[in-house]
Structure 1
């Protein structure tokens, strides 16, 4: 299957990069959790942590995007976005320097995180330049949650046909929900032979 659009991955797992024909974006909710883990390990009484500054800049950029969307603007304020991007990158550079020795496993992890933020900052910040891109990929994870829950309860799908039917129904209901149709009404219409179909 060939993907030619934007793919928002949950993290920077290397196999995602084999999809060379897509434009990549990375999930910022995952990044915020990683940054919080770094901040939690900062020495007591330390007034500043590079990871906190990166997280604050991300949240500020998210706020700028939300404000632009509410005002029906095609893009965020360029000067404000540039300032937050500068703060993010400068903090990540400090993170690289602080953990350059990589003398412990924690330092190596923090160094890799800061390095990744610098190397992939366009992918992390794509949501701020292309409003089609979400801040995170939580919606995608919610859609597959029921599949994993069914697997947890039943152990597996007994047949390939059953698995296909289950995923078709879940996909149909998820699409209906995005158009304001409740699961109950979608299923009733389907059972009555009046299947709801999206207009676009």
Structure 2
């Protein structure tokens, strides 16, 4: 909803600004009549001002070449297999930090390989000449070396009581494929699969033995998960009901919309009061009102449209049938305060994939799609856990 606030900093908000640091590379001394307004005073032990300082931050991207010289000696060090394989073909390789930085820039900035190659060449003034194919290889290398890390992320996610799942389309070499995501407060795990309901590589197999609560958008394949409980995303329901209100002028849609948000508001009120559950009687009363609105709405519609085929029914009527059939899943947010009203956590993760699609349009190979899913899992998990994604990539490359 619009806040009607002006753009920029808001009144009474704390000002956030960069701070002076003691670690500087160059110092320039100037004798002036008056120092700049925001310059910081440096004082001696007697609190006398010695001088004022300002800082200017510069960024320099340049290559640093480390030469290793090998002198042959009978009593010299025996190099390990890893070092020998590292230089088996080419005497020039890249450090873990360099590889991680390349993958970081490609993924974090959603920068295509060719454009990133040109950018690094320009910024380094020609000292870094990295081919797009090399960037692609670094992404594949990260994918191959991250298997253990990804297994750990998935285990942490599935240890949680609630997981969010969603999927979005992805084109690979002109064909339709899917990016699935499983996420909660412990991380995000992306999977690139051929089909939306892929039972071999998709989320269905990974969640087969999960016993918590799966929050989803009514993709019926998820209903095949029998060990867990299900919770429907009511943000979708809100949109369907608003459509019925705006285009069909349905009073039943308005009543149901108001009731859903009354329940949500009541839940938040109880949480603010320190409560962890809603009384059984109150839940029962809300459930009865919910059913009454749906049944009366369906009955009135059938009386006004006798003999109408299901294909010709108004969309909100299909929503009513769905909400009646899956009542427990739609109202689980009210009965269990740990269950959210929406599936926004998973949908937010899918937006990352959609941004990539808008820029790069498609993946060339399935291998590239899977590499993207692996790297995105690492990035989004680092974001969720407030960790440094670049450091995580360096750890993976150093394995």
TM-score by length of 1: 0.77
User: 2:300 maps to what in 1?
Assistant: 98
Q: 1:92, CA displacement in angstroms?
A: 0.5
- TM superposition shift of 1:35: 0.9
Does the Cα contact within 8 Å between 1:53 and 1:88 map onto a contact in 2? no
Q: Aligned in 2, Cα 1:140/1:191: closer, same or farther, shift over 3 Å?
A: closer
More strand by share: 2
Partner SS state of residue 34, structure 1: helix
Highest CA radius of gyration, 1 or 2? Answer: 2
Distance change in 2, residues 1:165/1:14 (3 Å): closer
CA offsets per residue over residues 127-162 of structure 1, 9 Å max, x none?
111233221111101112222332342232234443
Distance (whole Å) between structure 1 residues aligned to residue 233 and residue 301 of structure 2 = 24
> Compared with structure 1, are the counterparts of its residues 192 and 59 closer, same or farther at alpha carbon in structure 2 (3 Å cutoff)?
same
Structure 2 residue aligned with 1:59: 261
Structure richer in helix, relative to its length: 1
Q: Aligned in 2, Cα 1:110/1:171: closer, same or farther, shift over 3 Å? A: same
Q: Which residue of 2 aligns with 1:7?
A: 214
What secondary structure sits across from 1:99 in the alignment?
helix
Greater alpha carbon shift after TM alignment, 158-167 vs 94-103: 158-167
Structure 2: gaps spanning 5 or more residues: 1-204
Give, in angstroms, the shift of residue 191 of structure 1: 5.9
Instruction: Indicate if the aligned counterparts of 1:65 and 1:76 stay in contact, CA closer than 8 A.
Output: yes
Give the 5 Å matches for 1:73-88. Answer: 73-88=275-290
Task: Tell me how far apart the structure 2 counterparts of residues 17 and 188 of structure 1 sit (CA, whole Å).
Answer: 38
Which aligned runs of 4 or more in structure 1 are off by greater than 4 angstroms? 191-195
TM-score of the aligned structures, taking structure 2 as reference length: 0.42
Pick closer, same or farther for the CA change 1:31–1:86 going to 2, 3 Å: same
| Contact kept in structure 1, 2:256 and 2:293, CA below 8 Å | yes
The alpha-carbon distance between structure 1 residues 141 and 191, as it changes in their structure 2 partners (threshold 3 A), is: closer
| Separation of aligned partners in 2, 1:131 and 1:61 | 12
Aligned length, in residue pairs: 186
Return 5+ residue gaps in structure 1 as ranges: 196-200
RMSD: 2.7
CA distance in 2, matches of 1:175, 1:69: 28
Cα deviation, 1:37-91, whole Å, max 9, x if unaligned, reads 1112345xxxx71111111111111122222333332202444333332222111
What SS class does the counterpart of residue 41 from structure 1 fall into? helix
